[in-house]
Amino acid sequence: MSEMRQISVAKGDGIGPEIMDAVLSVFEAAKVPITYDFIGMGKSYYDEGYETGMTPEAMESIENTGILFKGPMETPKGKGVKSINVTARKVWSTYANRRHFRTIEGVDTLYSRAGIPVDITVVRENIEDTYGGIEHMLSNDVALSRRFITRQGSEQVIRFAFEMARKEGFKKITCGHKANIMKLTDGLFLDVFYDVAKGYPEIQVEDVIVDALCMKLVQKPQDFEVIVLTNLQGDIVSDLCAGLVGGLGFAPSTNVGDNISIFEAVHGTAPDIAGKGIANPTSLLLSGIMMLRHLGLLKEAAQIEAALMVTLECGVHTGDFGQKDSPSVNTREFVANVITNLGKAPQRTAMRKSVADHVEFRKPIRPAHQKVLIGDVHDVELEGMDIFFVDDKRADEIAPGILKHLPETMTLKTLTNRGTVVWPDGSVYTECTTGYGARIIGKGVTKTDFWNLLGQLSEVLNIASTEFLYSIDGKSAYSKGQG
């Protein structure tokens, strides 16, 4: 008999409790050796005054079991709170989001009708990028967002993708990126991709610019197996891939970290049908199957997945999908069919077999302190500063006021507006906003010298933000102005 495992379960909001109860009833029928610690998370807990959307007891439970199985959750609108889904992923360092999209028998799509098979796994970086949520209004008219990509964070998610591919028999990984435009941030992610790939010579690798990737996914989705991307691009591409197979209702999701992992339905709470008993539990059930495999319950996962595929092959469907000329079933009837089909094998659905025949799950051991991801030591030299300021004058009117405050050791190299150079060279056709950037390069100067300069420039500039410019190992580590 398999060892009993405990997981933390949050039923969620809207249709969450209905579909979670449905999934757990399948687990019970399949005699899955799991016990549940039901915890408090979701919109109602925001409303009760818990700023994170969860109780302290919920956090303690998750950090003890190492597993959170959750239904869809709503974040209150207009209250200045962050999404509980994003918060949970970041707090517990679940750095890799994995979603699996495949053609499912009984789910009608353009590709299933054309006989084009879709079987794509998207691995998305889960913590960094624009999801840091660091934004500023430089003025009433100009907003700034900061994007963080780190070598260590990139390596974590990319190595996860390669390890997953090796264990599960994938032969090809594609890196989606926009390094042609975001040369430093996406460029770093792409460099790490090829560095990690060297350790997996049996896996074919390629990189595709993300806009071209989206086009190719629509044209020939069968050309892709595993795609790894940064956070925001991965979010967008994940939903695109969901559209290829019928929608988010058929898209299982897991957020994996070294200690804690989260398995969830990624669709919404569907408040319009909540309580009616007609919700489709397929996405959450598929996520639960991924959870069972993560826990090492490979036999139980395979049995439940097979029963679900048999059910779909038989044409059983809830009202949101399936043949319109056949009657739909409610949530309870759908899972009853799945339970009836336990022990049966699908006839038209190919079931992928994992290369690994054994997976060992270990509960997290609480660390003594937060972990700091430290990189190699490099030669870093200060070269200058970008000063972002607000002004309604033209660049040629602004430059003299800056120049008269510069010491001989500093040079005003450019003024830019929306990333385009407008001084000393530029076009009269370039339309400017009130948000400018001044790039000042210094020779043999220190940070203190720049701070002193800022004090002087504050008399003539409405300074909103600054950024130091460095070279690393002799190479400039900042973007060039355009134009």
pLDDT in tens, 36-64: 999 999 888 888 888 888 999 999 999 99
**Radius of gyration (C-alpha) of the chain in whole angstroms:** 26
**Domains of the chain: total:** 3
- CATH number of the CATH domain containing 265: 3.40.718.10
Confidence of residue 1 (pLDDT cuts 50, 70, 90): very low
CA dihedral 437, 440, 446, 450 (to 10 degrees): -50
Confidence check: pLDDT of 79 > 70: no
Residue 433 pLDDT > 80: yes
Average pLDDT, the chain: 93
Does 483 reside within a domain? no
Q: What is the pTM of this model?
A: 0.92
Residues 121 and 251 in one domain: yes
Q: Are residues 369 and 291 in the same domain?
A: yes
Percent of the chain with pLDDT over 90: 78
List the beta strands (DSSP E) in 221-276: 226-229, 252-256, 261-265
Q: Residue 49 has what pLDDT?
A: 86
Residues 245, 103 share a domain: yes
481: in domain: no
Residues 62 and 119 in one domain: no
- How confident is the model over 181-196, as a mean pLDDT? 97
- pLDDT (tens digit per residue) in 3-22: 789 999 999 999 999 999 99
Same domain, 348 and 448: no
Task: Give domain status of residue 116, yes or no.
Answer: yes
* Cα gap 184→197, rounded to integer Å: 20
Cis peptide before 424 (omega within 30 of 0): yes
- d(CA 399, CA 439) in angstroms, rounded, equals 11
Residues 236 and 345 in one domain: no
388 and 469 inside one domain: yes
* H or E element at residue 87: helix 84-91
The pLDDT, as a whole number, for residue 78 is: 60
Residues 348 and 230 in one domain: no
Q: Which of 375, 405, 424 is the last residue of a domain?
A: 375
Higher per-residue pLDDT: 139 or 294: 294
Q: What does the pLDDT average to over 431-456? A: 95
Inside any domain, residue 75: yes
Q: Verify that 123 and 220 share a domain, yes or no.
A: yes
Look at residue 361 in the predicted model and tell me its pLDDT: 86
451 Cβ neighbours under 8 A, 6+ residues apart: none
Sequence-separated (6 or more) residues with CB below 8 Å from residue 425:
483
* Amino acid 483: pLDDT: 55
440: left (phi over 0), alpha (psi -120 to 50) or beta: beta
Residue at 137 is within a domain: yes
- 329 beta partners: none
Q: Mean pLDDT check: name the lowest of 91-100, 346-355, 449-458.
A: 346-355
Same-domain status, 98 and 245 = yes
Residues 101, 107, 112, CA angle at the centre, nearest 5°? Answer: 75
472 pLDDT above the threshold of 60: yes
What integer pLDDT is reported at residue 481 of this predicted model?
Answer: 77
Among 345, 375, 405, the domain boundary falls at: 375
Question: Taking phi first (over 0 means left), then psi (-120 to 50 degrees means alpha), and beta for anything else, what does residue 60 get?
Answer: alpha
Same structural domain, 357 and 339? yes
Q: 414 pLDDT exceeds 70?
A: yes
Q: Are residues 286 and 429 in the same domain?
A: no
Task: Report the pLDDT averaged over residues 336-357.
Answer: 85
For residue 221, the 8-state DSSP code is G
Residue where one domain finishes, among candidates 224, 256, 288: 256
The 10s digit of each residue's pLDDT in 130-175 is 988 788 888 888 898 999 999 999 999 999 999 999 999 999 999 9
For 426, the domain range is 380-476
What is the reported pLDDT for 356?
A: 65
In a domain, 141, yes or no: yes
Query: If you average pLDDT over residues 290-299, what whole number do you get?
Result: 95
> What's 403's domain CATH number?
3.30.70.1570
Is residue 450 in some structural domain? yes
Angle between helices 331-340 and 298-313 (to 10 degrees): 120
Reply yes or no on whether the pLDDT at 89 is more than 50. Answer: yes
